[in-house]
Structure 1
């Protein structure tokens, strides 16, 4: 899809600037220019389309629909809803709190909190652009599975007493639906897309920059040595190392691309990415005001275990 752009970039880097394709600087610059434009373009298109479609489905309607449904239906719906909310692990917390206020089952709310940062449209668009539809489909499927199963497990533990904020249920008043012209929806989608790109743009540049540096300057054998290859500890180590970090899919995806190119197994790399996007220390600090330490620990532990299992499965399937 972006072959034309790659040709332009390569001509500029290797012919106009005179850098060698075999040099670290040439390889890194070629990677940075190509990936930056490609990722930002895909982000703009995907976010705009998703935002426009989402304008026909207000959050209040989704919350009302989830309330009172069969638990499994609620978990699946909440996890799917997470796909169309472009939030990082911290940004998803306000809506998570809204679900709690609406008396939606606790496990269902966690299915959303897990899915939103891990399976959002940014992650999907970037995975598709970097690794193709097969890897993307597997990631979406397993990501949803982690969110649904972890939510079910948490819901079965009867941990409602571990919620520190217990406001009365929010029952939004019935508001007569106002028909919004298509051109206004398009304008709002465009404005939202620009605003979101401003917020994630630096993450993209930083992520691509780190990826470009590793791509050009870090020897392949160094990555392979510490990634562990087929070693049993590679996936758990990648997951544990990912939790303290804080980024979104836009920031970490270019790094994942480079790590896989350098020899890290796909399952190990995706476990690293899932841990970074779905779990973070800033998220835990914010949740500390809403949930008990016990519930936060169960949440992190359940999700981390699910991510490790998915990593092992990916490594076994994608040999």
Structure 2
């Protein structure tokens, strides 16, 4: 008897179909490494794209009611912890990768929002979103998904507050602070306009994430079916005290969003890697990817960039080791 989670999130029926087709059409046993890797690759790819299409469309439709101008006005009313928390929560409803979040960060900063508030958004936006909550649930269950979202928001709020307290606005490039903002009245969008906006968002995001997802699923398939368990355990296993640090360092040069890292995380989880180590990998990939740091270096000065990277890295390491210790 399948549960609602099995049917709609884990899509176990899809996994069974993929396995059946591989055995009947390709005549490859699922017990072989090749058959297992093919099933993992086809099933995970289809599941991610199906869920991603549905979730991004829904979120984008809701987001059409909150254009940047309105968001700036809402955030501008709050200061301190409240402002940082709202900015972090705003990041959870924007389905962007780290590079896509930077233009909005520029817009919020040029609009005069406190530097800490804008950084809370910048940390949260690629790290956590509603789509990732449901996708992580489909891989690991709601408990781990909620943990990931909560610690991501906490990291974003704390990081933003520290940057704000250190008064780092002077380390933002001058051209960002001097951008002229013209916030005119926006014509109300019709239902059709919102549907078209949501469709375009799905298309744009699919174009951006399809290659990272395929790469991520491919790596996940190799880890899950080809790379020996003892090799993974030696490098990232629970007995290696440096596992969280290694996972964080490995994640930084990778360019992917949460959707591309999930298949890798799933494969590592199946090999017995600690949840803290997996969280560290996912967070470093999404929040500290090298391409996004290159883009960010164009809008903030080196001292602020180093502080940002240091804060996020320390936060990721603390989260990783903490969750490995408590063994959730």
Name which of 88, 95, 100 aligns with 1:91.
100
Aligned residues between the structures: 318
In 1: Cα distance, 2:299 partner to 2:214 partner: 33
Of 48-57 and 186-195, the range deviating more from structure 2: 186-195
Q: Which residue of 2 aligns with 1:314?
A: 323
The runs of 5 or more residues in structure 1 that have no matched partner are: none
In 2: Cα distance, 1:165 partner to 1:281 partner: 23
In 2: Cα distance, 1:91 partner to 1:260 partner: 29
Instruction: Please list, as runs of the form range in 1=range in 2, the aligned pairs for 1:193-272 lying within 5 A after superposition.
Output: 193-272=202-281
Q: Would the aligned equivalents of 2:234 and 2:240 in 1 still touch at CA under 8 Å?
A: no
Q: How far has the Cα of 1:174 moved from its partner?
A: 3.8
Q: Would the aligned equivalents of 1:43 and 1:125 in 2 still touch at CA under 8 Å?
A: no
Over the aligned positions, Cα root-mean-square deviation in angstroms equals: 1.6
In 2: Cα distance, 1:60 partner to 1:317 partner: 43
Q: How far has the Cα of 1:105 moved from its partner?
A: 0.7
Q: Deviations over 1:99-135 (max 9, x none)?
A: 1101111111110110011002443232121111111
1:12 aligns with 2:58: no
In 2: Cα distance, 1:173 partner to 1:137 partner: 36
1:301 aligns with 2:319: no
Q: Which residue of 1 aligns with 2:3?
A: none
Please give the TM-score of this superposition, normalised by the length of structure 1.
Answer: 0.94
Q: How far has the Cα of 1:98 moved from its partner?
A: 1.0
1:276 aligns with 2:276: no
Q: How far has the Cα of 1:170 moved from its partner?
A: 4.4
Cα–Cα, structure 1 residues 288 and 191, in superposed 2: closer, same or farther, change >3 Å? closer
Q: Deviations over 1:153-172 (max 9, x none)?
A: 11111112212225337453
The runs of 5 or more residues in structure 2 that have no matched partner are: 1-6
Secondary structure at 1:246 match in 2: coil
Q: Which residue of 2 aligns with 1:65?
A: 74
In 2: Cα distance, 1:244 partner to 1:208 partner: 17
Query: Greater relative contact order (Cα 8 A, min sep 6): structure 1 or 2?
Result: 1
1:38 aligns with 2:47: yes
In 2: Cα distance, 1:111 partner to 1:284 partner: 16
Q: Deviations over 1:59-98 (max 9, x none)?
A: 1101111114122111011101111112211111111111
Name which of 28, 33, 45 aligns with 1:24.
33
Name which of 111, 119, 138 aligns with 1:102.
111
In 2: Cα distance, 1:240 partner to 1:204 partner: 20
Q: Which residue of 2 aligns with 1:180?
A: 189
Of 23-32 and 6-15, the range deviating more from structure 2: 6-15
